[in-house]
């Protein structure tokens, strides 16, 4: 159809970070230095977005599953995310990871997600599969584990697992054994990583000059200009 335009991902078409943060949460840039000290593709990055709320039981199950994998993890835990105080959250994390856990674990209230996902140390993204996060993980070629909550997240998660095959759909299951198995497979599967990297390369080609998305974007700009010209002409004719 002439008036349908297949454009995006927009953040990949304009890779410079926005001058004004798009979230009300303050980013913890210190996690980047922590990532610098980790091995390549060894870190599980966990972020469930800016709206999802989980129960204490769900928090405990995910935490136990992550610790069981043996991989270091960077977890975005907003102060309003778990139905207990942040002090209680940190205490439970400390008990779960044990001595030396600071080297293996980093908990932040918010993270510069695009920078985190493109970091060499990140080997897996455990996400709620919101559209922004799904696109950001896709552009960086990071294997994903999707734990969707509501709205489009269910569909996005199915696409990641069943269509693009760039990750795994954990559905609404929250059990430590499932978390451990799913994260391990996402990190260790050569097939998933190949699919994730191949899709990332395709997206980069699409948004580059002459690519399908870039071409469609130019067509959209032309369409808007045509509408503006037509509106201006129509307005003048009425006078």
Report the alpha-carbon distance of residue 73 to residue 71 in Å, rounded: 6
Counting residues of the chain whose pLDDT is more than 70, the rounded percentage is 89
* pLDDT of amino acid 221: 87
Sequence length of the chain is: 239
CATH class of 25-205: alpha beta
Q: Is the pLDDT of residue 29 over 70?
A: yes
Q: If we measure between CA atoms, which residue out of 116, 125, 47, 115 comes closest to residue 81? A: 47
Q: Is the pLDDT of residue 103 over 60?
A: yes
Q: Average pLDDT, stretch 74-86?
A: 88
Q: Kindly report, residue by residue over 205-214, the tens digit of the pLDDT.
A: 888 888 877 8
The residues with which 107 forms a beta bridge, in sequence order, are 75
* pLDDT of amino acid 194: 97
Mean pLDDT, the chain, rounded, equals 87
Q: Average pLDDT, stretch 193-211?
A: 90
Report the alpha-carbon distance of residue 52 to residue 65 in Å, rounded: 19
Q: Average pLDDT, stretch 223-236?
A: 69
The backbone torsions φ and ψ at residue 19, rounded to the nearest 5 degrees and listed phi first, read -70, -30
pLDDT-derived band at 19 (thresholds 50, 70, 90) equals very low
Dihedral (CA of 8, 9, 10, 15) sign: negative
For the entire predicted model, the pTM comes to 0.86
Cis? peptide before 9, omega within 30° of 0: yes
116 neighbors 31 (Cβ within 8 angstroms): yes
Q: Which of 17-21, 77-81, 174-178 has the lowest mean pLDDT?
A: 17-21
Q: Is the pLDDT of residue 68 over 70?
A: yes
Q: Which of 33-37, 63-67, 104-108 has the lowest mean pLDDT?
A: 104-108
Q: Kindly report, residue by residue over 113-172, the tens digit of the pLDDT.
A: 999 999 999 999 999 999 999 999 999 999 999 999 988 999 999 999 999 999 999 988
């Amino acid at each position: 159809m002439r008036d349908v335009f297949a454009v995006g991902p927009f953040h990949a078409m304009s890779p410079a970070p926005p001058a004004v943060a798009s979230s009300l949460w303050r980013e913890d840039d210190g996690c980047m230095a922590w990532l610098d000290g980790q091995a390549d593709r060894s870190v599980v990055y966990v972020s469930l977005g800016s709206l999802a709320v989980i129960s204490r039981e769900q928090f405990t199950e995910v935490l136990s599953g992550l610790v069981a994998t043996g991989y270091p993890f960077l977890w975005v835990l907003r102060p309003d995310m778990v139905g207990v105080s942040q002090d209680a959250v940190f205490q439970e994390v400390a008990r779960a990871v044990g001595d030396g856990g600071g080297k293996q674990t980093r908990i932040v209230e918010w993270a510069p997600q695009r920078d985190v996902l493109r970091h060499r140390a990140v080997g897996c993204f455990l996400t709620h599969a919101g559209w922004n996060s799904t696109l950001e993980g896709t552009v960086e070629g990071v294997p994903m584990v999707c734990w969707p909550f509501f709205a489009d997240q269910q569909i996005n998660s199915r696409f990641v697992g069943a269509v693009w095959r760039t990750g795994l759909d954990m559905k609404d299951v929250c059990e430590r054994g499932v978390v451990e198995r799913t994260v391990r497979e996402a990190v260790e599967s050569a097939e998933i990583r190949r699919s994730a990297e191949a899709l990332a390369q395709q997206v980069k080609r699409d948004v580059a000059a002459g690519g399908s998305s870039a071409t469609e974007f130019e067509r959209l700009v032309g369409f808007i200009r045509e509408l503006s010209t037509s509106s201006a002409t129509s307005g003048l004719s009425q006078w």
